[in-house]
Amino acid sequence: MAFCEIAISLTDSVDKGINLSDYNSVGIDIDYDSPLDGERVRIYLRNFDPAYAKLSDPISLKFNAIEYAPGEDKGLIKFPLRSFQVLSWWIADYEVPVDKSSRQFDNISIIEVATGSYVKEANYSIKLNKLIFYGERISEQALVKILLSLWVITAISFIIIDRIYLRKQIKETEERTQRLRDANRVLYEKSLVFEELAFTDPLTRTRNRHEINDWLAEFTTHSIDNKISFSMMFIDIDNFKQVNDKYGHRLGDEVLRRFASLINKRVRKSDVFARWGGEEFVIFCPATPLGATAKLAESIRECIENAVWDNGMKVTCSLGVAELENEDYCHFIERADEALMKAKERGRNRVEIAWNERQL
């Protein structure tokens, strides 16, 4: 035969069909045996609307159609319902008005599977294995309303929470500001006392390490008790022995004096700069976190490296930075010294930081 069709009636009466408007796609699994490869089949979703259809005329039901080549054993193929088109000959024959000529799925009563447009006389076999309509449990419009409501509720909740958090932050900020004021006052008073110390290094005119110990022990305890940041750095002139060996101690002393002078221009009034011994210096940075002290160390390193020295010398330095933890000042100094050793081991002319587990 030259024509083959499967017709599935969904209801007892064609005017009482099923509304498929809420579905968005259909899955079709067909085995199609035809004499030619690639032959196509048509899928019709027949819709009844009294504006154009009559119970006495089965052809008057709208043809929502799609045509494709299913082949054999190709499994389920999924099509969006928007890909279905109304047959033009049906629109013309029934003089369907423009507002009723588009695809329509609100009253589907018959589903048909038929051979394609061009067939020859032969034996055809159509086996419908599966027909599935896909849709969403919640319409897009309803979902938008739900999401909009949730968004409004969430936004209001965030505003309320944010106001509560802001009040808490303001209170904490005020308390922290007061603590910092108290700490700065203590720092200022301690600095005045420290400035009165007459002991300085005679060569570099910096502080003498032996006069720092009492202040350092007291300020370390003060910083821990009041949870105030306190950082330090060790600074060592790279290969200074070679400078003395090559140019003599007089020029070596001049390098130390200028080295200290360059650093003095970089430190703040609240910082404590001292010669620790030989070519090694130290800077204590009260009320300063690790990151800020590391930046200061890097600026000092760059300053020394870029400075112009007598006799075309190239002078660089290595630096080790540490921040006070819950420890005594001896361990604090030891960690900074270990960071300095790492800087030397890793090639000199660099800054190394003594990270703790909380900062990693």
Burial track 85-121 (b if 16+ CB lie within 10 A, e otherwise): ebeeebbeebebeeeebebbbebbbbbbbbbeeebee
Q: How far, in Å, are 73, 263, 281 from residue 304 at the CA level?
A: 80, 8, 13
CB distance 266 to 292 below 8 Å: no
Note the pLDDT of residue 194. 60
Q: Which residues of 260-278 are buried (b: 16+ CB within 10 A; e: fewer)?
A: beebeeeeeeebbbbbbee
49 lies in the same domain as 146: no
Domain end marker among 154, 181, 196:
196
Cα distance between residue 335 and residue 353, in whole Å = 9
pLDDT at position 155: 85
Q: Are residues 117 and 205 in the same domain?
A: no
Token pair for 128: 């419908």
Say which CATH number the domain at 348 has: 3.30.70.270
pLDDT value at residue 125: 80
Alpha helices in the chain (DSSP H): 88-93, 140-195, 213-225, 240-247, 249-264, 290-306, 329-345
Q: Are residues 90 and 37 in the same domain?
A: yes
Which residues are known to be catalytic? 279
Q: Answer whether residue 202 is part of any domain.
A: yes
In a domain, 235, yes or no: yes
Beta bridge partners of 284: 232, 272
| Residues 254 and 162 reside in one and the same domain | no
Residue type (1 letter), 253: D
Per-residue pLDDT of the chain (360 residues; tens, 9 = 90+): 456 788 899 999 999 999 999 899 999 988 877 777 777 889 999 999 999 999 999 999 999 999 988 866 678 889 999 999 999 999 999 999 999 999 999 999 999 998 877 666 777 788 888 899 998 777 677 778 888 888 888 888 888 888 888 888 888 888 888 887 877 777 766 665 565 455 678 888 888 777 788 788 889 999 999 999 999 999 999 999 999 999 898 999 999 999 999 999 999 999 999 999 889 999 999 999 999 999 999 999 999 999 999 888 999 999 999 999 999 989 999 999 999 999 999 999 999 999 865 554
In a domain, 360, yes or no: no
Q: Which domain holds residue 52?
A: 5-135
Bridge partners for 319 per DSSP: 235, 351
CB-CB contact of 223 with 324 (8 Å): yes
Asked, for residue 130, whether it belongs to a domain, the answer is yes
DSSP H or E segment with residue 314 = none
Tokens matching residue 287 = 């009320």
Q: CB of 42 within 8 A of CB of 67?
A: yes
DSSP string for 200-255: B-TTT--EEGGGTHHHHHHHHHHHHHTT--EEEEEEEETTHHHHHHHH-HHHHHHH
**Partners of residue 28 on adjacent β-strands:** 77, 131
- Tell me how far apart the alpha carbons of residues 281 and 234 are, in angstroms, rounded to a whole number: 6
DSSP, res 113: E
What six digits make up the tokens of 347? 């090639």
Torsion over CA: 237, 262, 343, 283 (sign): positive
Whether residues 338 and 208 fall in one domain: yes
- Residue 40 and residue 144 in one domain: no
Domain containing residue 102: CATH number? 2.60.120.430
Strand arrangement of the beta sheet that strand 85-86 belongs to: 5-9, 108-115, 41-47, 62-68, 85-86
Total domains in the fold of the chain:
3
So what's the pLDDT on residue 139?
66
List all residues 6 or more positions away from 227 whose beta carbon is below 8 Å from its beta carbon.
179
Task: State both tokens at 247.
Answer: 């140019």
